[in-house]
Amino acid sequence: MAEVVLHIYDVTNSGSEKTNNTIVQINRFFKDGIGLGGIFHSAIQVYGDDEWSYGYCEQGTGVFSCPSGKNPMYTYREKIVLGKTDCTIFMVNQMLRELSREWPGHTYDLLSKNCNHFCDILCDRLGVPKIPGWVNRFANAGDTALEVAGNTAMRMKQAKTELVSASKVAYRFLSNVTSNVTNGSNGSPQRTGTLNNSDNGNFKLQGSWFKGILNTAKPSTSTEIGNKDEDANHAITNQKKQSRDSDVLLFQ
């Protein structure tokens, strides 16, 4: 059996001393002060003196190792012993080879596939508890917010479709009414139960009024609605991309 250790760092690789100090203060307040979470990098040590983690790179695997507690990109915070694994060193090496293929660097995502997610997967395969929830809570909260936004956009799309269908029905109804009114005002034979010719002026007024409604309330086409939906979805995609571009190293 081998001990499995989680190493946790404050993410201080922004290149700006002011930003790095701000992140440290955020972590002190949200983690040390109220126990909520923070902005952290994590890595797993098992068998030997190296720790294993995951980060972004353009080509090749994103899985990498370095001496435990000595990653030069971040500020070391603490270590947590997660338990002991029954896996042999051969089995662990096999796991790391598999994960190296499954976790290429270009698939890194700040909210849904970062170093903390990698550590969770490795812990699960080692048969020990996953990392504490507070380590990755900020990323999980951001991922949940994007999921809610996506679900909201889908519900809005469905509602728009229903509105288009309803408006088309109303449009056809008003078109029929306008046609009947117009025919009645153009000298068509008067049927039993209809108004007499003295009301022709009212018929003409009503016909014009209905035509005005139709011109104003004519439903949008499905193409127009689709274009609006694409714009909305594009805006959500851009928002996620901007978040990744600005904070790509935040949870690495």
Contact 41, 53 (CB under 8 A): yes
Contact 6, 78 (CB under 8 A): no
| Torsion angle, alpha carbons of 146, 148, 151, 153, to 10 | -70
The pairing of strands 2-10 and 40-45 is antiparallel
Residues listed for the chain: 252
Active site (annotated) includes residue 115: yes
Q: Exactly one of 41, 87, 117, 123 is catalytic; name it.
A: 41
Q: Exactly one of 7, 87, 115, 123 is catalytic; name it.
A: 115
Cβ atoms within 10 Å, residue 120: 17
Encoding tokens for residue 66? 């370095």
Residues catalogued as catalytic: 41, 115
